Amino acid sequence: MHIFNATDGKVIASCHGHGGGAEAKFSADARLVLAWWHYGGPVAVYDAATGDELDQFSKLDLPVVSADWSPDGKRILVGCKNANMVLLDAETGATLQTFTGHVGPVWAVCFSADGKFVASSCNDSKVRVFRVAVK
């Protein structure tokens, strides 16, 4: 995966070690990049300036298919193939909360603007909204 300068198209950083990623998101402060393979795999966090992999959240039992940063950048929300959504501490990778209720892979996840709620969707045609218990 490469991070490009939007003005001149030059590569700013190359991220190695993850085997690529079909999706990626910058943290709110644009210092970090969260990347994952859309069809399942671990989540990796990269330094946007250097491309160095900072941590790989391979502690999850099943591959991740969707992910998002919390608005404050302190947590990562992942949707998994096992129909669960998991809230992780962005610094340690520790599981903070698990959300259940879907019947298939959680293809999309997001935080509310205030970080107090999370939402998820799956091919069960339902969007589920949960309150975040962790502050």
Report helix, strand or coil for 39: coil
Mean pLDDT, range 93-120, rounded to an integer: 94
Residue 58: predicted pLDDT = 59
**Residue 78 to residue 62: CA distance in whole angstroms:** 11
Mean pLDDT score of the chain, rounded to an integer? 83
- Residue 132 predicted with pLDDT over 60: yes
Per-residue DSSP letter, 115: S
Residue 7: predicted pLDDT = 78
Mean pLDDT, range 22-38, rounded to an integer: 84
Tokens of 114: 């205030």
- Residue 17 predicted with pLDDT over 60: no
Q: Domains of the chain: which residue ranges?
A: 2-131
Query: What are the distances in angstroms from CA 45 to CA 52, 83, 91, 96?
Result: 9, 23, 10, 18
Residue 53: predicted pLDDT = 79
Q: Which fold has domain 2-131?
A: Methylamine Dehydrogenase; Chain H (2.130.10)
Better-scored residue on pLDDT, 5 or 63: 63
**Residue 133 to residue 94: CA distance in whole angstroms:** 15
Mean pLDDT, range 20-37, rounded to an integer: 82
Better-scored residue on pLDDT, 87 or 50: 87
